């Protein structure tokens, strides 16, 4: 066991865990942030995607030690009232079906939009290629990413 310090959704936190523990379990079990989902556990589905210092990472295969002294953002950290541009676009386009993959899709989109302000269809497909949706919402996700890019430009950028 070891003390690991990290910043999660803007708050400094310390957890006493085996440093090899996947970040996903620290988020869900130690911190109660269950918006980040467990799908495959082997970096194949993207359900557990979070932002780590602005990059999309698979929390299921990221040891918490890799997040030490770094900034993690989960879907809970986007806004307290669904006002983040990506959340607003998701609602406008009514993207989710079962919803299971969606926090990972949303976090991958947030990271994409901080790197590319107006992504093309190809850039969207490439950025989200590792995020699988069993319900097949890909068409609506793509529309929502374009809408989120518009809302971001109007509103000053995603966090
Ligand atoms: S649960 Fe992490 S990629 Fe599937
Ligand atoms: S909405 Fe059901 S898995 Fe994507």
Per residue of the chain (159 residues), give pLDDT as tens. 889 999 999 999 999 999 999 999 999 999 999 999 999 999 999 999 999 999 999 999 999 999 999 999 999 999 999 999 999 999 999 999 999 999 999 999 999 999 999 999 999 999 999 999 999 999 999 999 999 999 999 875 544
- pLDDT at residue 92, as a whole number: 97
Q: Which ligand minimizes its atom distance to the CA of 98?
A: 2
Q: How far is the CA of 64 from the centre of ligand 2 (A)?
A: 27
Q: How far is the CA of 125 from the centre of ligand 1 (A)?
A: 18
Q: Which ligand minimizes its atom distance to the CA of 44?
A: 1
Q: How far is the CA of 42 from the centre of ligand 2 (A)?
A: 18
Q: How far is the CA of 3 from the centre of ligand 2 (A)?
A: 35
Element (H, E) at 126: helix 121-127
- pLDDT at residue 1, as a whole number: 84
> In testing the pocket of ligand 1, which one of 25, 34, 48, 102 has its CB within 8 Å of the most ligand atoms?
48
- pLDDT at residue 154, as a whole number: 86
**Whole-angstrom Cα distance, residue 3 to residue 18?**
9
By DSSP bridging, strand 55-58 and strand 71-73 are unpaired
End-to-end CA distance of the chain: 32
- pLDDT at residue 156, as a whole number: 55
- pLDDT at residue 159, as a whole number: 47
């Amino acid at each position: 066991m070891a003390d690991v310090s990290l910043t999660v959704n803007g708050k400094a936190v310390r957890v006493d865990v085996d440093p090899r523990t996947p970040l996903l379990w620290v988020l869900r079990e130690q911190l109660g942030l269950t918006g980040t989902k467990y799908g495959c556990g082997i970096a194949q589905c993207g359900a557990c995607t979070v932002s780590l210092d602005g990059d999309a990472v698979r929390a299921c295969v990221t040891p918490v030690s890799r997040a030490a002294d770094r900034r993690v953002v989960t879907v809970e950290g986007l806004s307290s009232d669904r006002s983040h541009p990506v959340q607003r676009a998701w609602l406008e386009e009514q993207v989710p079906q079962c919803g299971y993959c969606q926090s990972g899709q949303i976090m991958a989109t947030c990271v994409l939009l901080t790197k590319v302000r107006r992504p093309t269809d190809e850039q969207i497909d490439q950025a989200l290629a590792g995020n699988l949706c069993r319900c097949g919402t890909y068409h609506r996700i793509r529309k929502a990413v374009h809408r989120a890019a518009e809302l971001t430009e109007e509103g000053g950028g995603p966090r």
